[in-house]
Structure 1
Amino acid sequence: MSGAAAPIHRQAAPGAQPPAATPAVLVGRSVALVHEWFGATGGSEQVFRQIADLVPHGERFVLWQDRDATEPGLRESWLARTPLRRSKAAALPLMPLVWRTLSRERFDVVISSSHAFAHTVKLGSPETTTHLSYVHAPARYVWSPAFDGRGSNPLLRVPRRLLQSIDTRLSAHVHGYAANSREVQARIRQYWQRDAVVINPPVDVDWFAAAPASDRAQAREYLLGVGRWIPYKNFDLIVAIAEEARLPLVLAGSGPQEPQLRRLAERAAVPITFEVRPDRKRLRQLYWGARVLLFPVHEDFGIIPVEAQACGTPVIGLSRGGLLETVVDGETGFLVGSTEPADHASVVPRLGELSTERITAHATAFSPTRFAAEMTAWIDNECR
């Protein structure tokens, strides 16, 4: 957004009384809350909503809101008025410029929710504006494309190095970082040479645990895969694991790989059912009806495995990334060191060793109440 000819320094409304949950240090201060693009169902969007709940008087900025998202009160950048909003890959090189030309307004505090370049936004000078950034991950397609393949084309090597330089240089004004996991904390240190506190994302564990009796009484007969149907989520591997385990599979989600996955399902040796874009209640039913959640993917954190465990459903996944923090190997699931389907299927018979009560209790550590307390403490400490 381009503003007036001269910068405007925003002040909080006189006499405004934010809710008690608002960090005390932000009362009477103007606050900008910044997120990348805003999708309908993403985990980072859930985190951004929780941050916004903590600071209801904050102005909320995004690059654009996806067509299927209906979040009220978001202020979109000028990029939203261009065709580039339909292509994240094409828009990526422009994002640092967009964040630097977002608005001529100035704020006392900026809190960014970043998984690409949102942490480079500048809405005031470092002397007068405190910028805190909650990082879901340094942009994978810029810094670690091998994780999911995006940006790994050799032709992109030079542009990627340029974007790395820009990313580091334009984020020097950030006063403090929080990472959503120890995995991301280590990458922030490696790529940006900055320290970060770890604040795991909030998960609505109480809601998932408090399912109706009819959901809780299901027989748990199938394996379950949940998430975006895109290559790095390894849904083809999930199909192969189900075939090795000789158990029916339910795939819940949506994405561009749907045609390929349906072709795999037609040839599979086990029944495979598709649940396209299940709503929240249906997803909870699916968790409660599953024998196990299959999650063979290297994630930065991974909200889905925590949701499953809140329903007493164990997880079988890779012993990498966020699962090392969200799954207790041998107690709330099993972590596997390879991507061989047989290695994952081999632990399915051991699921009976696990305690449903232990699995559910473990998930409570990731509640929104805990997230709010840790975020408040971090903000208070950084803004003193």
Structure 2
Amino acid sequence: MTAVEGQGPVTRTAGQSPDVSQPGHPRPLAGRSVALVHEWFGATGGSEEVFRQLVEVFPDAERFVLWKDRDSDEQGLRESWLARTPLRRSKAISLPLMPLVWRTLSDAHFDVVLSSSHAFAHTVRMGSPEETRYLSYIHSPARYIWSPAFDGRGSNPLLTLPRRALQIADVRLSNHVHSYAANSREVQARIRHYWQRDAVVINPPVDVAYFSSAPAADQAQSREYLLGFGRWIPYKRFDLIIEIAEAAGLPLVIAGSGPEEVNLRRIASRVNVPVTFEIRPTKERLRQLYWGAKALLFPVHEDFGIIPVEAQACGTPVLGLSRGGLLETVVDGETGLLIDSNDARSYAALAPHLDDLNADRIRANASAFSPEAFAAKISTWVTDVAA
């Protein structure tokens, strides 16, 4: 095995996976070598949290990524040669090279390769499909090339010409995958539509126990502001979130970080409601923000959406777009209010009805998305396919 970038060699005993958290569940892949593969690894993000949970289920697996962000302190990741080039700074420009990188990632062979994919990680090869079982957990088929309308980053002019070629490569280079799992029914439908493949649905893990068990002081907060949280990038629609808060006449807290910060601060300076920015809140601070919020604003078409589940674990309703993952995680009229609109006034008109929702019912809905449920489903899926 090669050394981890920036560290010494990593020694692991293949196949030593732990018991999953549910009592009596079989130990997954005992005695077999496992590789876990992820795209690029950022400091925060839903797909990174899923990968961390996969490591919990298979802690002795080798872990491979294209690169990790400079501000990420994640340990034990083997970065590809792409990490040593300037291309690591541009996902869009490096995208056409990713299939090649995944085919030249390592000379090592494994019994089982499990990829966590939202671009090309599912095309990885580490042994012949006759000797290696390939499974892929899909956050979404690459939005950049399959559904750029969902994500403005995919409309980069540099991708216009190669998009069709990348689509063909994406399908052709993944024929060896034995089984797919989708993070939602929304993504399951995309896999069927774009790749003509079936997938089981395994919702991502959410640390609902942590968020629901806040200190008494946090739980006693009066819910007076609206909250937006996530990466500050265009398709997350924080500009619309600010407009909704203004239309509703309610204070707004925007938490997270991202390249849109300057633009969002400019927009916020023009509205007539208070807007507070919380830069990279800790997990503890985020829990406080959830418990103090009147509602989480989430007017975005998301593949699944871990953030809305975290909010519901705190008894905080979701005011969001009735598309994508929210249709699976929010019970409209009971744990949140959903509307198919991009008009701020339409969302604002629903705000007075948020007080009618029951916090206990909201928290109960979130409990179905626990890490224990994820671990049990993942280990069953992988063990069955690997057999």
Question: Do these two structures clear the TM 0.5 threshold for a shared fold by scoring above it?
Answer: yes
Match for residue 285 of structure 1?
288
Q: 1:144 aligns with which of 147, 154, 157?
A: 147
Match for residue 363 of structure 1?
366
2:50 maps to 1:47: yes
Residues 57-206 of structure 1 correspond to what in structure 2 (within 5 A)?
57-153=60-156, 156-206=159-209
| Contact 1:203 1:307 (C-alpha < 8 Å) held by counterparts | yes
| Contact 1:23 1:379 (C-alpha < 8 Å) held by counterparts | no
In structure 1, stretches of 5+ residues that fail to align are 4-10
C-alpha RMSD of matched pairs (Å)? 1.7
Q: Supply the distance in 2 between the matched residues of 1:95 and 1:53 (Cα, whole angstroms).
A: 27
Match for residue 301 of structure 1?
304
Deviation, 1:377, is 1.3
| Contact 1:2 1:104 (C-alpha < 8 Å) held by counterparts | no
Deviation, 1:12, is 8.0
Q: Supply the distance in 2 between the matched residues of 1:278 and 1:23 (Cα, whole angstroms).
A: 37
Q: Supply the distance in 2 between the matched residues of 1:312 and 1:103 (Cα, whole angstroms).
A: 46
Residues 221-236 of structure 1 correspond to what in structure 2 (within 5 A)?
221-236=224-239
Kindly provide the amino acid, as one letter, of the partner of residue 262 in structure 2. P
In the superposition, the TM-score normalised over structure 2's length comes to 0.94
Kindly provide the amino acid, as one letter, of the partner of residue 37 in structure 1. W
Deviation, 1:215, is 0.6
Match for residue 383 of structure 2?
380
Instruction: Output one character per residue of 1:100-144: Cα deviation in whole Å (capped at 9) or x when no partner.
Output: 000011111000000000000000101000000000000001100
| Contact 1:147 1:298 (C-alpha < 8 Å) held by counterparts | yes
In structure 2, stretches of 5+ residues that fail to align are 4-10
Kindly provide the amino acid, as one letter, of the partner of residue 83 in structure 1. P
SS of the residue 1:69 aligns to: coil
Deviation, 1:25, is 4.8
| Contact 1:2 1:101 (C-alpha < 8 Å) held by counterparts | no
Match for residue 6 of structure 2?
none
Q: Supply the distance in 2 between the matched residues of 1:381 and 1:251 (Cα, whole angstroms).
A: 43
Task: Give the total of aligned pairs.
Answer: 376
Q: Supply the distance in 2 between the matched residues of 1:57 and 1:262 (Cα, whole angstroms).
A: 44
The alpha-carbon distance between structure 1 residues 355 and 123, as it changes in their structure 2 partners (threshold 3 A), is: same
Percent identity between the two aligned chains: 70
SS of the residue 1:146 aligns to: coil
Q: Supply the distance in 2 between the matched residues of 1:132 and 1:186 (Cα, whole angstroms).
A: 18
Q: Supply the distance in 2 between the matched residues of 1:332 and 1:293 (Cα, whole angstroms).
A: 11
Deviation, 1:13, is 3.7
Q: Supply the distance in 2 between the matched residues of 1:147 and 1:52 (Cα, whole angstroms).
A: 29
Match for residue 7 of structure 1?
none
SS of the residue 2:341 aligns to: coil
Q: Supply the distance in 1 between the matched residues of 2:380 and 2:33 (Cα, whole angstroms).
A: 19
Match for residue 268 of structure 2?
265
Q: Supply the distance in 2 between the matched residues of 1:322 and 1:17 (Cα, whole angstroms).
A: 34
In the superposition, the TM-score normalised over structure 1's length comes to 0.95
